[in-house]
Structure 1
């Protein structure tokens, strides 16, 4: 499966994504960092960030969150870049979301 993050402007931020299946929700709750990768990154307009993971049950566990901020002169109150996340399973896009400062894509409600 593939997580893709795009932005409409230049940002600095973080991406967190599920990289392995927890054995249970309780196991995830007790130590989520064991199952999530966190990447500090720069988002550049027009340059997607792509992360691949192999999950046994992507319908249960696929999750990606991206957040970022930008600084003047790249951004101001009238020009806030959008961040978009996408989850694809076996090449099929199953979730797409977009927002300005932080966005989450998941195959189930958290």
Structure 2
């Protein structure tokens, strides 16, 4: 009799847990959730310069949305760069392979500063995945299109 009572209480516990789960609703499948990646953009210059920096910190839902209005997804920052004075931005993207991007150029025309010595670095999940350097501008990106 004792064995039967133990089985009945075990079955009751399992049925109770199943009913509770059914009342709470479906649990979202974690396998369907996108993996988010930490993206870090760093732009610098070897000489003081006022720079325009376009970057992507928000991922568009698809390429069509992006192509209709790329500047909605690529905001611009104006930053004073120089030795020991980089511009840094951190973002979270689900698909940095296609969407992580930073580009920098001189802001305006300054004939006295022809080569500010731009540099950029793109990190994804704390791994350097792209670098660039240039006299007039730089582009750090992984995109394949």
What TM-score results when the alignment is normalised by the length of structure 2?
0.67
Q: Is the 8 A contact 2:121 2:132 kept in 1?
A: yes
Structure with more helix by fraction = 2
2:134 to 92, 99, 108: 99
**Once the 2 structures are TM-superposed, how far is the Cα of residue 103 of structure 1 from its aligned partner?**
1.0
**Once the 2 structures are TM-superposed, how far is the Cα of residue 71 of structure 1 from its aligned partner?**
5.1
1:52-71 equivalence runs, <5 A: 52-68=90-106, 70=110
Q: Is the 8 A contact 2:54 2:103 kept in 1?
A: yes
1:32 paired residue number: 70
SS at match of 1:51: strand
**Once the 2 structures are TM-superposed, how far is the Cα of residue 107 of structure 1 from its aligned partner?**
0.6
| Alignment partner of 1:4 is 2:42 | yes
Q: Which segment drifts farther, 50-59 or 38-47? A: 38-47
Structure 2: runs of 5 or more not aligned = 1-38
1:16 paired residue number: 54
2:10 paired residue number: none
| Alignment partner of 1:81 is 2:116 | yes
Superposed CA offset, 1:27-76 (max 9, x none): 1110112211211121122211101111111111101000116553xx36
Would you identify which runs of 4 or more consecutive aligned residues in structure 1 move more than 6 Å?
A: none
What TM-score results when the alignment is normalised by the length of structure 1?
0.86
Task: Give the number of the structure with larger relative contact order, counting CA–CA contacts within 8 Å between residues 6 or more apart.
Answer: 1
Structure with more strand by fraction = 1
